[in-house]
Amino acid sequence: MDMLLTAAAFVAVMALGDFGDAVGLTKIDSLKIVVVGLVASLVWPLAMQSAVIDRAARQVRITSLLSELLLVGSLSTIVVAATAFALRVPIPPITLLAAVLAQFAAVSSFHLTLLTLLRLARRSGRNFRNLLIVGSGPRARDVQHLVTTHPEWGYRIVGFVDESDYPVDPAIATENVFKFTEMPNLIRDLVIDEVITACPRSVFAALGPVVATCAEAGVPVTILSDIFGDYLPPPRVTRFDTMAALNFSVVHHNRIKLSIKRGIDMVGSGILLAFSGPVIGIAALAIRLTSPGPILFRQNRCGLNGRPFEMLKLRTMVVDAESQQMALLALNEMDGPVFKMKNDPRITRIGAILRRWSIDELPQLWNVFRGDMSLVGPRPPIPLEVARYETFERRRLSMRPGITCLWQVNGRNAIGFSDWVKLDVEYIDTWSLTNDLRILLRTIPTVLRGTGS
């Protein structure tokens, strides 16, 4: 359906544009337009198939669906524009943009309308699914509460199954609780569309017959993955060779989105390097004329998962700055394993200027282009700092480090290390391309005010 909608929207805009006679299209030009139309029509359904949001899921949020549609629309715009540019298609840019916007409007309207109609139908008692919940304790109660407070999901609970020696939560009617041994009869006598396990992990050893019965009857089983409480993040279904597996990873970001982030990093850092070349050159000359030693400062930093790499900066301190740090530890103004001083005596006169306007950070664009860093991400720490990290603080290393981050645009040195870690974890847990864009936009005024140093 997505392909039909995108194709129809593209053709409609091309027909309404009526630019063919004015441009004097040849057969080759017409063929190029057809190719662009095919790409524009295919990229939407392909991207939607790879999207994180399961549009068939009853619990899908409208905001999540809109966010996914915006991401797919942005990707489609980039692909279509790149195809049109590569083929030198004689389509006015405004017409091409109108075609992409028409596709976005058509697909978004269809999915949002469909979701709204389904929710209305489910609220009125149609298009429902019967649930059987394994468990009768607090976790089963929580599932029951979710189902009853979200009638738009269209679920009906037909009963609970549990071991007889486990106490039943007061919110669950005891007459609706059955034993594990009754599972075959329940499958035979009731219409059950799905089974959800919401029991403590101590019961999992006894779930074999329950799962086997469901498998034999073809009833899908959903196992809630919070069996370890808050110790583990949500899992991702994967495989270890031929074996099915659940991967509990803090960072479960969509690979397509991460690939887009990497593409933005490469293109963005390349463009910024080209434009900042003269600034780096002038700064390098100033460093050479005012301070003995190398122009670039190279330092080992910890990247993704603690992987070491050599980070580049314009040198803003005296040559032996690192060896002098031990004598200055008592003057450290930051808590935790990080060393920061507002009036650090090791900073040169030119270095203070470069730091104030974050010019010293520009060579890190090369690290971004190489893939050691990203434009946006937690700042890369030095190995000595990482060696002093508590276990939970190492979560900062679970995403590629960046030139700018939430800490950078929220006060930087005025923020303690524990709050710094919280900001980095917040960034990792809520990461999106939109958030990256917001941080980049907030970085510009921070740098212009000279408060990002």
pLDDT tens-digit series, residues 77-107: 787 788 777 777 777 777 777 877 887 888 8
More confident residue, 110 or 237: 110
Residues 135-152: tens digit of each pLDDT: 888 888 988 998 888 888
Of 28, 73, 81, nearest to 51 by C-alpha is: 73
Task: State CA 175 to chain mean position distance.
Answer: 44
Residues 215-224: tens digit of each pLDDT: 888 888 888 8
pLDDT for residue 173: 85
Q: What is the mean pLDDT of the chain?
A: 81
Please check the confidence at residue 325 and state whether its pLDDT lies above 60.
yes
pLDDT for residue 21: 47
Task: Read off the pLDDT band of 451 (50, 70, 90).
Answer: low
264-294 b/e (C-beta count within 10 Å ≥ 16 → b): bbeebbeebbeebeeebeebeebbeeebeee
Task: Read off the pLDDT band of 202 (50, 70, 90).
Answer: confident
Report the 10 Å Cβ neighbour count for 74. 16
pLDDT for residue 402: 94
Q: What six digits make up the tokens of 424? A: 């980095």
More confident residue, 312 or 88: 312
pTM over 0.85? The answer is no
Task: Read off the pLDDT band of 362 (50, 70, 90).
Answer: very high
To the nearest whole percent, how much of the chain has pLDDT over 70?
88
Of 379, 378, 375, nearest to 440 by C-alpha is: 375
Task: Read off the pLDDT band of 22 (50, 70, 90).
Answer: very low
Distance (Å) of CA 99 to CA 43, 69, 108, 113, 429:
13, 16, 14, 21, 35
E strand or H helix at 302, and its extent? strand 296-302
Least-confidence region, from 25-39, 194-208, 339-353: 25-39
Of 49, 34, 58, 36, nearest to 2 by C-alpha is: 49
Alpha-carbon distance of 139 to 226, in angstroms, equals 9
Report the 10 Å Cβ neighbour count for 181. 12
pLDDT for residue 370: 93
Domains along the chain with CATH numbers? 2-123 (no CATH), 129-248 (3.40.50.720), 255-448 (no CATH)
Q: Are strands 235-240 and 243-248 parallel, antiparallel or unpaired?
A: antiparallel
Alpha-carbon distance of 13 to 367, in angstroms, equals 43
Q: Amino acid identity of 212?
A: A
- Judge contact between 213 and 183, C-beta under 8 A: yes
Report the 10 Å Cβ neighbour count for 201. 10
Q: Are strands 194-197 and 235-240 parallel, antiparallel or unpaired?
A: unpaired
